[in-house]
Amino acid sequence: MRLTVNGEDHQTDISLLSELLVALDYEGDWLATAVNGELVHRDDRPGFVLADRDRIEILSPMQGG
């Protein structure tokens, strides 16, 4: 399946959003995720099934000042 994650193309067999986050080393409760412009809440990620050509945005807080 082909996905666009934060503007970059990825080819993967992963079909669940939660598994994609682990594979891309995104962890923590402070992540914000959206698929095709729609917010996906943390509790919904384990069951959220991705589709070919989905656009995923992953935002994590930055440290520093």
Domains in the chain with CATH codes: 2-59 (3.10.20.30)
What percent of the chain has a predicted confidence (pLDDT) above 90?
Answer: 82
pLDDT at 30 over 90: no
Can you tell me which residue has the tokens 């959220």? 48
Can you tell me which residue has the tokens 């384990």? 46
The token pair that represents 10 in the structure block: 């990825």
Mean predicted confidence (pLDDT) in 11-28: 93
Residue type, 49: V
**What is the pTM (predicted TM-score) of this model?**
0.88
Q: What integer best gives the mean pLDDT of the chain?
A: 92
pLDDT at 39 over 90: yes
- The pLDDT, as a whole number, for residue 29 is 74
Q: What separation in angstroms does the CA of 60 have from each of 24, 30, 35? A: 13, 6, 15
